[in-house]
Each structure stands twice: as C-alpha cells, then as structure tokens.
Chains A and B, each alone.
Chain A
Amino acid sequence: MANALDPHAAVVTEAGGLDQRGTLKTADGQPLSRALARSSRKARRRAFMLVLPLLLFILITFVLPIGQMLQRSVKNDGFSANMPQLSAWFAEHPRGTDPNDAAWAALAADLTASAEARTIGVVGTRINYDMPGTRSLFTSAGRQARRGVEPPYRDAILEMDQKWGDPKLWSVMREASSPYTSNFYLAAVDRTRDDSGNIVQAPEQQRVYLMLFLRTLWLSLVITFTTFLLGFPIAHLLATLPTRKSNLLMILVLLPFWTSLLVRTTAWMVLLQQQGVVNDILVWLGVIGNSGRLQMIFNQTGTIIAMTHILLPFMILPLYSVMRTINPSYVRAARSLGATSWTAFRRIYFPQTLPGLGAGALLVFILAVGYYITPALVGGSSGQLISNMIAMHMTQTLNWSMAAALAAILLGGVLILYWVYDRLVGIDNLKLG
C-alpha cells in the first residue's frame, strides 16, 4: 500500500519515516492516520460551529414545538393529574367492574380537592372531549362539593345529577384515567368508542374529518394540475423569449408573488362575487341575464381559482429554471430527423422538463394541502379544507389535542406522498432552481 512511487508517501517517508510495520508517520512521529483524523475533526468541528446557530434555530423554533404539538395528540393528563384517587381506583379494578363504594368515595374526594384547587374546569374539559355535554356536570358538581359531600357518597353524588350513574360516563372516565390516549386519533378519522370501549363509527351527523381529508387531497391535486396547465406554457415562453422581454414577463409573474396573500385573496372576492367585476362585465355583454349571475366564489370554484393563482409562481419558477437549461438543438435535431412537432415535444422536450415539473408539483401540492386562510375566506361551505378544522380546534373549541391529531395525520399523509414520489420519480430528479 505504501508505494515508493507515490509522491505523497515519499514526502512523509522522508520526514517521519516508516516504522517496522509499515505505517505512515508524520514529522513528530505520530501515525499519519491519527493526525489526519485529528485535523479533519477540527475542520469538521469548525464547520459544525458555523451551522450550529441554524441547527439550534430549527431545533427551538421548529422541531421542539412540533414535537410538543404531536405529543399533545396522544397525551392529555387533564383528568389523570387532577383526579388521582379515582384514577388509582381505575388502575386497580379491571374494565367491567361496577363502581363500588370506594370508587364513589374517591370521586367525591377528587371532586372536592379539584374544586378547591380550581382545576375542575380542566377535568371537565377533558371528559367533555369524549362525551359532549359533561363539562358542566363536573363544574357544577365541583361547586356543590366545595360545600361538602356527606357519605353515602353514591347517593350524594347521584342526587347532584343522575348523569353520574351513566355507564358511558364511567367508561369515558376510565379511558381518561391514563394520560395517554388514542381517542383523539380515533375522532380524527370519525371513529369513537361505545359504552364498552369498542371502536365504532361516529354518528352520521358528526362524521366530517375523513370527508375533509379526502376533499383536501382531491382539491390539492386539482390545484396542482391547473397550475401545471397554466404555468407550463408561461414558463416555456419565459425561457425562450429574448432576455429583455422575458425579464418584463418575469416581473409580471413575480409582482403578485410579492403581494400580500390577503390582498390577492380579497382581490378575487372583488372580482368574482355575484355583484363583482366579472359578473358585471358578463351582464353588460349580455352573456348572462341580471338574474342569472354566476356563483363563482364562496364555494369550491372560488377556492380552486384563488389558490391556483396564489400558488402559480411556485410552479412557474422551478419549471422556468429547468427549461432555461434545455438545449434547443435537441428539438431541432428531432424535427430534422422527421419528428412531428408534437412528437418532438412529447419525446424530447417534455421529458427534459420533468425535474422542474416534479419540483413545482410537489411544492404546490404540499402548500395546497396545508392552506388555510384562502379557503377560509373564499371557500364558503363547500370549499373548506382540513386545515380550517385544525384552526377551528386551535382557536374556537380550544381542543389542542384534537388539532394536533388532525395535523399529525396531515403531516403523515404528506410524508407518505413524499415517499411515494421518491419511489416513482426519485428525489434526485428534483430541481428547485
């Protein structure tokens, strides 16, 4: 391995020499491999120090919050932390045990303690997630318990409200006595647990999430396709026009890109509403009657139009940068060899744009899946996406665990699609610019 003809080896040999076993050494007698490792380690450490701020930034602002959020989707200790005695009773007695005197005493003690500590609202909120209408059961029982509960506890508590005897309530409390639960994920796919804890479909009028997941997926695909249809010719034009003209066109593409999202969304509202500009022009031209104004916004159409426009630059820019690098002589060569213009496009030009198309499609699709503000404003009732439900659980019902479960499923779905894309097209074939 140490070849005398190798110039590097020669230098080292002169300086440090070879030992008996033939290992290379540096001038101060250390094995070369160790010295090399040390110096490259130093360089690596320096490089690492350079990226450390970014790593920390990503860790603190991205990984930790998302991790915490995902944890919320399986962990909610609102009940178990504030009702310790009853939780202990559930742990000791298997499912199916009817609540005995000890259970009622534990319930009374926990209710009193929790009401004193003013955490009864947290307990009620946790149970209310799985059994609507029970939050006030806990808060009012807490108020009464603060005035004192006398044994026999069973009768005293049932006197507060007959609902305390409901087996479903006890089943739900048993579920909640462990801080970890899969119920939020079940609810996020329109499933629930019946009185004996089996997983069943949610009542029909409450099923909404699966349908919204599918709709989000479908609309995102439609939007990706329309951005492709509209963006491909524009990108081609940009890439083939003389620089001066294409720069001007580029500004037209970028100008909306730089405009606030809200401004663009509201602009579409002004244009598309029934008393809006487009309808006014159509009526004025006599295409439609005044009573037959088109409903183009506050429905799915509105969501598709506005989101296609907003996401268009994300398709055009990667396509453009790839098309710029395509050598026009290939197509010319194909044509001179007798290909029709369609064949030349299909077999020569289009395949070369695939890396840009893949990048653009992936960008648009992933952005569309998580879009929130545009569907909220122009989507009406039929153009809502799953992100609108996540927002609702974050801000209105304050059920952050549910929001986290929905978000985690969305994230998982996107990752799976990303993986499928990698298998089909290959991530190496992605070109962003």
Chain B
Amino acid sequence: MKKTLILTSALCGLAFGAHAQEVNVVSWGGAYEKSQVEAYNKPFSEQTGTKVNMIAADDPATPLKAQFEAKNVTGDVFDVAMADAIRMCDEGALVEIDPAALPAGADGVAAAEDFVPGSLSDCAVGNIVWGTVIGYDKTKFPDAAPTTVADFFDTAKFPGKRGLPKSPKRTLYLALIADGVAADEVYDMLGTPEGVDRAFKKLDTIKKDVVWWEAGAQPMQLLADGEVSMTTVYNGRLFDAIVAEGKPFDTIWDGQYLEINAFVIPKDAPHPEAAMEYVKVATGTQPLADQAKWISYGPARKSSAPQVGMYNDGKTEMGPFMPTNPDHLKTAVYDDPEFWADHSAELAEQFNSWLAAS
C-alpha cells in the first residue's frame, strides 16, 4: 500500500516535472521564508506558471557548497550572505549574472544604479539588507535614553551590562565608531595594526561589563531577562520583540552594521532558465517592497523604499523599523566581504587572544 503510494507520487512528480516548469529555491526557513513565499513566489508563479519549491536550510551556503563539491546540484536558486556569494563566485561554483539583464526599477532607473551599493556582484543579486543594531531596555533608563554608540560604551552614564557577539566582525567596528572614527573610515582603520589596537583599547573600557553572545536568539533573551541593559542584536529580532511581543525595548540605529543577502544560481542547476527568471522577478521593485510587510528587512533596491507600507498587522508603519530608512543610513557601516575574506582569520585570532587575556 505504502509502496504503491510512493510509486504513484514519484510518477506524478515525474509527470509534473515533465509538463510544468519548476524551480527549487533554497532559503533560510521560518518567518523569512514566509515573507519570500508571499512577496516573491506568489507573483512569480502567477506571471510565469512556474511552480516554486521552497527548501529550508540553516544556512543555504552550506548545502550549496556540499552540492557543488559532490557534483550533484539539486537547488536552482540559493539565498546566501553576500560574503559567501563572492567567495563561492571566486571559487567557480556560481553562474555569473549580468546586471544589464535585470529589469530596471519601477522609476525607470537601470538595475545597476537602482540596487544599493554592494548588493550586486559578479554572481549575486541582492534581495534584503539587514542590520545589527543596538537594542536597549527603556525601563532601565527612565531619565535619558541612550542614542549613540558612544552611549553604549558609557557605562557610567548608562549603567548595566552590555551584550556583544563573540566575534570580531560585529564588534571591532563598534568600538571604533564609539571612539570617534567616521563610519566610512572603519575599514581603513581596521586594516592597520594601530587601528586594531585602538579598537581593542576601546573594548577594554567595557570588557568587564560585557556578556558575550553567540546565537542570534541569545541577545533578546539576555535583554528580556534583565541580564543586560543594552545589547547589539539583529534588527529583525528586535522588531519582533517590540512589535509582535510588545516588549519595552527600543532601537539605536546609530552605527548599525549593514549586511546583504543575495540570490545566487549554482553552475549545473537543474532548471537554469527558470532560476534566472525567478531571480529577475523576485528582485523586482514591487516584490522587494512587499516583503517588508512580513519582516523588517530592507529591500536591496532604492526604488522599493518609497513603496514600503504597513506591517501585516495593518497598523505598524514599517518605515521607522527599516534598516534602509535614509535616517538610519547616515552613520551605518556596510559589511565589506573582501575585507573579511582577507582578515577574518587573523582578527579572529587576535580577538580570541584578547578575550582570553582577562
């Protein structure tokens, strides 16, 4: 009985595959996947008649690398961090995508101009921009709320422990900003031994007050438990706590760390044409704008920003929660995949050496 069932469904699958087009998209699962199904997949299937199979992974870069090395690629489109996209492009795992082939923005600006800086690379098309921001507990600071990165490092004026991620990438830049370095000079500074020393010296000033976190869920837990009064956190998680759970938290957008996720297509993808079509449609102005209805990540196209509206509860204006809101971009630091590909090992060693010397 069970066998016939499997057999018929396999046959159906074959028959279906032969007639209708389909495309396999590997993404991150959870609320993020839901936002992509609603904003990208529905309009795409309507327009093209192609069925989209969503496959969830903890980090799609891992199955992508595994499939490429095993020479058995089953996914067509992968949603990965831009740093991974650039790395795997250099290693020859990905199809190159010409920005000229992407549709222009709704306002007629060519794609190469329309995408925010850093969200297009040889093999990758950006979809969302997300930030690591500072979240704080409003009840801990009734008199004056902290507003800057410098306040994060000022434990005399704003008492309480601080949450920081246990990795150099989202920590060192913050120390430099707090020490007065301009956002666009951070990487020049970190490229020199003196700059790295300066960052560690600044971190020294709060070292005894830091609770180090590793997983994305930890900082919100630390804040909710009252273990820390301020912590850096991924902006989507903070948004959830504030809007969906009604926690008394607030966001400091000063010196946020912006990273980009991107769609890539592996070489030898089973449905290369459908994959390219999917990437073109999904990263259009409207789908990227619609995604913000479901999750507070910013669209990678400039032309999408004005079209971002309400959260799906129908009453929360998304603009103030978007990492790409122009007000939040003034002091933002953009992730630099090239810099981190060069220096992550060296800085990780220094960081761990610094951590251990307590």
Contacts and interface: CB of A to CB of B under 8 A. Distances in A.
| Top 9 A-B pairs, shortest CB-CB distance | A121-B90, A118-B92, A132-B346, A381-B355, A208-B353, A121-B91, A275-B226, A397-B345, A133-B342
A144 interface: no
A209 B125 CA distance: 39
Nearest to B211: A298
A275 to B, nearest CB: 4
Contact of A132 (B91, B161, B343, B352): B343
Interface in A272-324: 273-276, 298
A396 interface: yes
Interface of B: 87-92, 161, 166-167, 191, 207, 210-212, 214, 225-227, 338-339, 341-346, 348-350, 352-356, 358
A381 to B, nearest CB: 4
Contacts of B343: 132-133
B345 A128 contact: yes
B196 to A, nearest CB: 8
Nearest to A121: B90
Contacts of B161: 274
A208 B225 contact: no
Contacts of A389: 352
Interface of A: 117-122, 124-125, 128-129, 132-136, 139, 142, 205-208, 211-212, 215, 273-276, 298, 376-377, 380-382, 384, 389, 392-393, 396-397, 399, 402
A208 B357 CA distance: 9
A397 B348 contact: yes
B256 to A, nearest CB: 21
A211 B345 contact: no
B167 A121 contact: no
B231 to A, nearest CB: 13
A416 to B, nearest CB: 24
A382 B353 CA distance: 10
A125 B342 CA distance: 8
A398 to B, nearest CB: 8
15 contacts: A117-B92, A118-B91, A121-B92, A128-B345, A133-B343, A139-B90, A139-B338, A139-B341, A205-B354, A208-B353, A208-B356, A273-B225, A276-B225, A380-B212, A384-B352
A352 to B, nearest CB: 42
A273 B226 CA distance: 10
Contacts of B87: 121
A392 B348 contact: yes
Contact of A380 (B211, B341, B344): B211
A396 B353 CA distance: 17
Given A206-B353, A208-B353, A124 B348 contact: no
Contact of B348 (A120, A134, A396): A396
Contacts of B226: 275
Given A129-B345, A382-B356, A397-B348, 16 more contacts: A118-B89, A118-B90, A119-B91, A122-B90, A132-B345, A134-B342, A135-B341, A139-B338, A139-B341, A207-B353, A208-B352, A273-B227, A298-B211, A377-B214, A382-B358, A396-B344
B90 A381 contact: no
B200 to A, nearest CB: 8
Nearest to A298: B211
Residue of A133, A205, A211, A273 ringed by the most chain B CB atoms within 10 A: A205
B342 A128 contact: yes
Nearest to B88: A121
